[in-house]
Structure 1
């Protein structure tokens, strides 16, 4: 199916669940055809695609690991073969290992490589595979889903923290290198109410961490996947003069609450 008459074509890694799935729905409603990449969540990705098609968009679920360069190139090729173009790439695929940060023995080099292969190398490989087609678009955009773990040095594991710091720096470099044809930005979420977090921490631990995060945040709440996705869509579609920006969406966690002074 060609993309004529549609707003464009988007590819979302990790698009079957969470932020990626929410972003896919928003792009479909804006008139985009959407390719949803997944690694293991086949049922969720297929359900997402079915929901996208109900909006009138064409949609495609593509299995593949962003850590595998051949998979990255194949995914882009499948998208271009189906629709003839690629305008937006949202890198939402990510991984971590939930560990106690104070325990420096909790992770080894293999753990770091596994996290970096997805969060950093995978993003690079996807951008590299897509760059030629994004450059041909008159509105090429990349949005990387990062985290405040990078600038704050706090998160689910040391490997995750380091990977998001690297992703933030790479976002700036890619924005400079791909300009002026392609814009590259990142969203830095704080804590998200997602299945990924609940599964990783466990329901009880998640509730406690979420409560603490909200209490420390200026807005007193954590974010939903849809709220983070809305930021990603703004950067991908609307922020036509923004590139190389790391946009924080954390409910004011890094800002903090005002100090209450007693009289």
Structure 2
């Protein structure tokens, strides 16, 4: 009997209590990986981890804006499992601000958006890189957005931060090779509560203007992340768009 594709691997999901983060953990668990679901609230992470398919899973708390917290998480996971193979950066934050309303996008909000959506991802990679490198076959998957390419996201700073993730994948895909691959998975509109204020009417309008005539599901993004870990093994430093053709505009 053959082993599952990710049997023996350990995957850490930052933002693991969110829709995409949990779906990614579920998909990787079904492929045999042990999953660490990390969120800001330990109780929420524990509830989410309990809902994963049976396996050697762990709940953890971490603050994406706090580099010390991320280093502590990496050390804790290594102590528990003895290895770390996959890091999925699914943590994120946004707020809808009309692009033309320049005053509404104040400095504090800009700083928070970049801290959560770019600096935190880099800090997580920095914290986990030594452990990912040790196995010789590490993988980082950042969850980006087509907003980084079309500039049509929830606000201008969010678009810029997601564009920065595309650039980060290219830079670190080169710098960390061959021991660590770095990929982005870039969804369009996804049926989660990630963007406050988006309702069913917004989703229906988005579906009508998407070539595949529906918006994304968290599982669509999770399957792309799973592919990065299993079948797309000769890819690094690039972005996989999973948006139903919405970027074609």
Query: Hey, what does 1:15 align to over in structure 2?
Result: 16
Give a deviation string over 1:228-248, Cα, whole Å, max 9, x none: 111111112321100011111
Contact 2:207 2:215 in 1 (8 A): yes
Distance 2:23 2:211 in 1: 25
Query: Hey, what does 1:86 align to over in structure 2?
Result: 84
Moved more, 230-239 or 63-72: 230-239
The 5-angstrom pairing of residues 27-66 of structure 1 reads 27-40=28-41, 42-52=42-52, 55-66=53-64
Deviation at 1:58, TM superposition (A): 1.2
The reply to whether residue 252 of structure 1 matches residue 233 of structure 2 is no
Q: CA RMSD in A?
A: 1.4
TM-score normalised to the size of structure 2?
0.94
Deviation at 1:43, TM superposition (A): 4.3
Give a deviation string over 1:78-125, Cα, whole Å, max 9, x none: 110000000000000001122122211111111111010111110001
The reply to whether residue 226 of structure 1 matches residue 219 of structure 2 is yes
Distance 2:69 2:231 in 1: 30
Distance 1:23 1:112 in 2: 28
- Paired positions, count: 244
Distance 1:44 1:225 in 2: 18
Which runs of 5 or more residues in structure 2 are unaligned? Answer: 1-5
Corresponding residue SS for 1:254: helix
Corresponding residue SS for 1:105: helix
Q: 2:159 aligns with which of 155, 158, 161?
A: 161
Contact 2:181 2:236 in 1 (8 A): yes
Contact 2:187 2:242 in 1 (8 A): yes
Query: Hey, what does 1:261 align to over in structure 2?
Result: none
The 5-angstrom pairing of residues 67-216 of structure 1 reads 67-197=65-195, 200-201=196-197, 205-216=198-209
Which runs of 5 or more residues in structure 1 are unaligned? Answer: 257-263
Contact 1:16 1:46 in 2 (8 A): no
Corresponding residue SS for 1:58: coil
Distance 1:217 1:17 in 2: 24
TM-score normalised to the size of structure 1?
0.89
Larger Rg: 1
Distance 1:254 1:6 in 2: 35
Corresponding residue SS for 1:196: coil
